[in-house]
Amino acid sequence: MIIASNVTKKFGKLTALNNVSLTCNRGECIALVGPNGSGKTTIIKSILGMVVPDSGFITFNGNNILHDWHYRNHIGYMPQIGRYPDNMTIGDVIEMMKDIRSDAISLDDDLIVSFGIPDLYNKRMRTLSGGTRQKVSACLAFLFNPSVLILDEPTAGLDPVSSEIFKEKIISEKNKGKLILITSHVLSELDELVTQLVYMQDGQLLFHKTIDQLCFDTGEKKLTKAVASVMGQSKITSFGL
């Protein structure tokens, strides 16, 4: 569904993405894992067309995304830090998004209801806590029933109850056959969600494996430990041992 081929992006001297190739298909739930500054957010932004790669290309359903914008109708994006105009209320923001994506066929307001957002409709964005902002971003990402969900650090700042609701929502969407891309540092949370893992370091994609394969390779049962053992290895290799 999404294919990135040899994508390279440099910010000045820093190579944010170094020849990254990635294939994502329907029904997969992919975790993007890696240390800070490894290029996770950059690859997500390239898929969304917010960052234009220096070389390489990305296709969505077989079409190159360069200079295209219609494909974003099929993507729900939840940014790391959601920022909205301060003087708008939650209701305004949601209405505005509905207006922007007026050609969405069906709306999915499960999350709005289960997060209790309607009670907060008249609150201004500037008065919201970080967690509530995250909830609004999550609602907006799921609202238009997109076939691809891109979630950048989704559970950071959510309370345990909300984060549980959110995870159940992700699982139910995954079971509907949608493609879900998640970046997170909280690996224990990803454990029950993801089917595949992409590990990035220094702008390079080190591996892309299914969870079963990864657990088999490392001899660990838990995702947390499997990734920890991989990270340990890559640290050793980067020291040249």
Partner 1 sequence: MLFYTLFLLVTTFSVFSLDENPAKGLLSMLNIILLIVPLVSIMFSTIYLYNSAEFIELLVSQPLKRKTIWLSLFIGLSASFSFSLLIGIGLPIIIFQPNAIGAMLIGIGIILSNVFIAIAMLSSVKTRDKAKGIGFAILVWLYFTILFDGLVLFFLFQFADYPLDKIMIIISSFNPIDLSRILILLQLDVSAMMGYTGAIFKDFFGTSSGMIISFSILMFWVFFPVFFSIRNFNKKDL
Find tokens 């053992």 and name the residue.
Answer: 229
Quote the CA–CA distance of 141 and 236 in Å, as a whole number: 38
Q: Rule CB under 8 A: say whether 136 interacts with partner 1.
A: no
Q: Rule CB under 8 A: say whether 85 interacts with partner 1.
A: yes
Total residues interacting with partner 1, rule: CB under 8 A: 23
Nearer to partner 1, 112 or 125 (CB): 125
Count Cβ atoms within 10 A of the Cβ of residue 37 and give its class: 0-12 exposed, 13-18 middle, 19 or more buried: middle
Distances (CA, A) of 178 to 66, 114, 124, 225: 23, 21, 32, 27
Touching partner 1, residues 86-105 (CB under 8 A): 97, 100-101
Nearer to partner 1, 84 or 166 (CB): 84
Nearer to partner 1, 85 or 232 (CB): 85
Number of other residues whose CB lies within 10 A of the CB of residue 50: 12
Touching partner 1, residues 108-127 (CB under 8 A): none
Distances (CA, A) of 44 to 131, 165, 197, 214: 22, 24, 15, 23
Nearer to partner 1, 45 or 178 (CB): 45
Binding residue for partner 1 (CB under 8 A) from 2, 31, 32, 51?
51
Nearer to partner 1, 69 or 239 (CB): 69
- 3-state secondary structure labels for all residues of 106-126: CCCCHHHHHCCHHHHCCCEHH
Residue 5: helix, strand or coil by DSSP?
A: strand
Q: Rule CB under 8 A: say whether 83 interacts with partner 1.
A: yes
Tokens of 154: 């989704």
Scanning 31-39, 81-89, 172-180, 187-195 for contacts with partner 1 by CB under 8 A, the matching segment is 81-89
Q: Rule CB under 8 A: say whether 52 interacts with partner 1.
A: yes
Contacts with partner 1, residue ranges (CB under 8 A): 11, 45, 48-52, 69-73, 75, 77, 79, 81-85, 97, 100-101
